[in-house]
Structure 1
């Protein structure tokens, strides 16, 4: 009777261990998907802020541009913000909109996870594609709208329990386009 009790106890311990490991494995998978979704969300927010532009709302003074540039800070790491500002990523899109008197709106954005096994923990690398709707502003008599697609690559990292963009290599608008 004692031998059967020991065998049963071992079976319960092994079963509990297997169940615990399975639950931990499932939780880590869910956590990874949840982290990926949060990283994508910050990337989408950055791109929408960058590319959703109403010509009438574009400021014309240096102070207006500085204020607009500051709005990107919450989505970027310090290093990411310096690169974003240096590359004039927000200014190029609004400059294009103003020059061509076009409003911009993000119609669709898609992120593709490019993570590899050797990536650091709490880091995602994405390729992305954005469909932008360009429509005439009230400053022009043009009527038609068009959709253009832009692509890029983005690295998003977890910093102080928040996801932030470290690097955004945007193949977006070129000033003379």
Structure 2
């Protein structure tokens, strides 16, 4: 009876060790997947915010330069939660916050993101808590109420984005979006 109890205790301990190790391995595997998913979510949110534009939402007549500047600053501030400080400075300097809205306003076309796809480049030299992605975005261009045009079209553009973990949050460090609508 004592022998059976010892064998049973050893089996329970061994089973517990195996179960604990399995759970730890699964958790570490899941965390990297969830980190990648969280990083992609930030990248998608930034691009959706940037390229979902309704012409009706843009002020078509601006009374004076100071109001236009205030509006631009307000729009730029809205992007801050998605970007690192360095990323934000580059984003503003490259005027990325206004690319789609200027295009929409000029052409009287609404832009709507139809599909975003991120591909992890999984580079060997990447630092911890950093992801590098290639992405493609399908953007539907449709006429607004300010134009008589009726045609719809879809453009696909590509880019590259680096997303890092900063203060326990995923943020975009670099976004190179190949000119996007500016070249249309």
In the superposition, the TM-score normalised over structure 1's length comes to: 0.89
Residues 31 and 170 of structure 1: is their aligned pair in 2 closer, same or farther, counting only changes over 3 Å?
A: same
Is the contact between residue 109 and residue 131 of structure 1 (CA under 8 Å) also seen in structure 2? yes
Which of 126, 132, 142 aligns to 2:133? It is 126
CA distance in 1, matches of 2:166, 2:100: 27
Contact 1:43 1:156 in 2 (8 A): yes
Q: Equivalent residue of 1:171, what SS?
A: coil
Could you tell me how far apart the structure 1 residues matched to 2:182 and 2:173 are?
24
The unaligned stretches of length 5 or more in structure 1 are none
CA shift, 1:17, in A, is 2.9
CA contact (8 A) 1:96 1:173 kept: no
Q: 1:101 aligns with which of 105, 108, 117?
A: 108
After superposition, the C-alpha distances for 1:61-90 in whole angstroms (9 at most, x for unaligned) are: 111111111110011011110011011112
Q: Which residue is 1:43 aligned to? A: 43
In 2: Cα distance, 1:155 partner to 1:172 partner = 17
Is the aligned partner of 1:62 residue 2:69?
Answer: yes
Paired with 2:44 and 2:181, the residues of 1 have a C-alpha distance of 21
Aligned equivalents of 2:7 and 2:130: distance in 1?
A: 45
Is there any run of 5+ residues in structure 2 with no aligned partner, and where?
Answer: 63-67
8 A Cα contact 1:42 1:164, kept in partner: yes
In the alignment, the residues of structure 2 paired with residue 45 and residue 172 of structure 1 have an alpha-carbon distance, to the nearest angstrom, of: 19
2-structure distance, mates of 1:172, 1:42: 20
Provide the aligned length of Structure 1 versus Structure 2. Answer: 177
